[in-house]
């Protein structure tokens, strides 16, 4: 495991914010963290990044403590709000971050990153002149410039326009493809559904529910049918309100399943790959 957390507890005075968190993130896995305000999401993120010291429990990143400098060398973090010396230009800021992260050829990489995130034209503008979306973009770039293996994102799409949201989605997908372990804290359930492999629902300091949204070797398919068809003979399937939820191993299996249903006389209205409905989880658990 890239990130391993066991029995993590954190209290502020008498108020216990985290009450025994267990968490694992594998390389190449994107894990979403959702929960209502005050659930402890930011506190958990702060503990993972070493900003806060837990009262109990264990945090290991690649088997090492989270304040290990080698771990930091491979860690990226995007805060919800980018705060930095507002007098600095985008270029100065990013180059400083790259140099701090010990990036070789920091100047060239900073230039390339500014190009990648669409801020090359604003490189010489001061951060005070940046919009919220531009600050989010440059915040994302400082976290990615050293190609981290562990990426912690706190509301990375907050304040972004649709193009920015798509860019962040692409960047997260690239990190996942590179093998980075990503923890994404967001209130935007649709975003979590789109990019996360797994989602953790944090409530009152405990992980109340964990849902796998995507599995490499399995696909969940939802087939809406006309009423009156029995599916008991189909393995790994269940029927809810005329929607057949089945777990298959490949897209060919989906085609085979549809054919089997049609051959059996089912009236099929809609077929789609299914992800867990986060909104209903959120509504049910919050």
Partner 1 sequence: MSPVVILETVRRHVTHIGYLTFLALLVLAAFATSVFDRPAAAWPGLLVLLAFVTGCGVVGPEFSSGTLQLILVKPVNRAVYLVSRVTGVVLVVWLAGIVAALCELAGRALWGDSGLQARAIGTALLNCATDTILTVSFLALLGSLTRAYFNIGIYLVGLIGLGLSSVVFAFIRQTDNAVGRFLKAHTGIERGLMVIDRNLYPDLPVPPRFDTGWTLMVLSNAAIALLLACLAFRRREVPYGAD
Instruction: Tell me whether residue 52 or residue 231 sits nearer to partner 1 (CB atom).
Output: 52
d(CA 280, CA 24): 24
> Quick check: 63 and 56 in contact, CB under 8 A?
no
d(CA 43, CA 54): 10
Integer-rounded Cα Rg, in Å, for the chain is 22
- Give yes or no for residue 204 binding partner 1 (CB under 8 A): no
Q: Looking up tokens 């049918």, which residue turns up?
A: 225
What is the secondary structure of 36-82 as a DSSP string? -TTSSHHHHHHHHHTSS--SEEEEEETTB-TT-HHHHHTEEEE-SS-
Q: How many CA atoms lie within 13 A of 243 on its CB side?
A: 11
- Give yes or no for residue 114 binding partner 1 (CB under 8 A): no
- Give yes or no for residue 198 binding partner 1 (CB under 8 A): no
| Min dist. Cβ of residue 263 to partner 1 (A) | 53
DSSP bridge pairs for 210: 200
Candidate segments 1-9, 95-103, 129-137, 276-284, binder of partner 1 by CB under 8 A? 95-103
- Give yes or no for residue 75 binding partner 1 (CB under 8 A): yes
- Give yes or no for residue 99 binding partner 1 (CB under 8 A): yes
| Min dist. Cβ of residue 169 to partner 1 (A) | 22
Alpha helices (runs of H) in 117-207, residue ranges in sequence order: 132-144, 162-178, 189-195
d(CA 118, CA 181): 25
| Min dist. Cβ of residue 270 to partner 1 (A) | 38
| Total residues at interface with partner 1 (CB under 8 A) | 40
For residue 206, what is the enclosing H or E element? strand 206-212
Candidate segments 32-40, 221-229, 247-255, 261-269, binder of partner 1 by CB under 8 A? 32-40
Candidate segments 71-79, 237-245, 248-256, 276-284, binder of partner 1 by CB under 8 A? 71-79
For residue 90, what is the enclosing H or E element? helix 90-100
d(CA 110, CA 88): 15
Interface of this chain with partner 1, residues 120 to 149, rule: CB under 8 A: 142
| Min dist. Cβ of residue 205 to partner 1 (A) | 10
The helix/strand/coil state of 6 is strand
| Min dist. Cβ of residue 251 to partner 1 (A) | 40
| Min dist. Cβ of residue 278 to partner 1 (A) | 19
Contact with partner 1 (CB under 8 A): which of 149, 154, 191, 197?
154
- Give yes or no for residue 108 binding partner 1 (CB under 8 A): no
d(CA 75, CA 53): 18
Contact string (CB under 8 A) for partner 1, positions 43-62, x = contact: x--x--xxxxx---------
- Give yes or no for residue 116 binding partner 1 (CB under 8 A): no
Contact with partner 1 (CB under 8 A): which of 100, 190, 255, 269?
100
Which residues sit at the interface with partner 1, rule CB under 8 A?
A: 17, 37-43, 46, 49-53, 69-70, 72-73, 75-77, 79-85, 87-88, 92, 96-97, 99-102, 142, 152, 154
């Amino acid at each position: 495991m890239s990130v391993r957390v066991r029995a993590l507890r954190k209290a502020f005075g008498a108020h216990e914010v985290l009450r025994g968190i267990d968490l694992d993130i594998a390389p190449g896995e994107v894990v979403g963290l959702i929960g209502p305000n005050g659930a402890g999401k930011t506190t958990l993120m702060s503990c993972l990044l070493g900003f806060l010291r837990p009262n109990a429990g264990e945090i290991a990143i690649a088997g090492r403590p989270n304040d290990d400098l080698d771990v930091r060398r491979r860690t990226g973090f995007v805060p919800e709000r980018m705060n930095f010396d507002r007098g600095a230009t985008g270029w100065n800021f990013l180059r400083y971050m790259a140099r701090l992260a010990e990036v070789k050829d920091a100047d060239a990489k900073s230039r390339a990153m500014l190009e990648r995130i669409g801020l090359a034209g604003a490189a010489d503008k001061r951060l005070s002149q940046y919009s919220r979306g531009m600050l989010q973009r440059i915040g994302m770039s400082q976290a990615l410039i050293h190609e981290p293996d562990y990426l912690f994102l706190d509301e990375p799409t907050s304040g972004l326009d649709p193009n920015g949201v798509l860019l962040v989605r692409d960047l997260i997908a690239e990190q996942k493809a590179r093998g980075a372990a990503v923890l994404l804290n967001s209130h935007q359930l649709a975003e979590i559904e789109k990019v996360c492999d797994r989602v953790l629902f944090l409530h009152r300091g405990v992980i109340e529910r964990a849902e796998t949204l995507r599995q490499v070797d399995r696909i969940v398919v939802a087939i809406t049918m006309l009423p009156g068809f029995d599916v008991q003979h189909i393995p790994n399937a269940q029927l809810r309100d005329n929607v057949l939820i089945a777990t298959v191993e490949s897209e060919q299996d989906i085609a085979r399943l549809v054919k089997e249903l049609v051959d059996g006389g089912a009236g099929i209205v809609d077929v789609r790959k299914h992800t867990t409905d986060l909104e209903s989880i959120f509504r049910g658990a919050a």
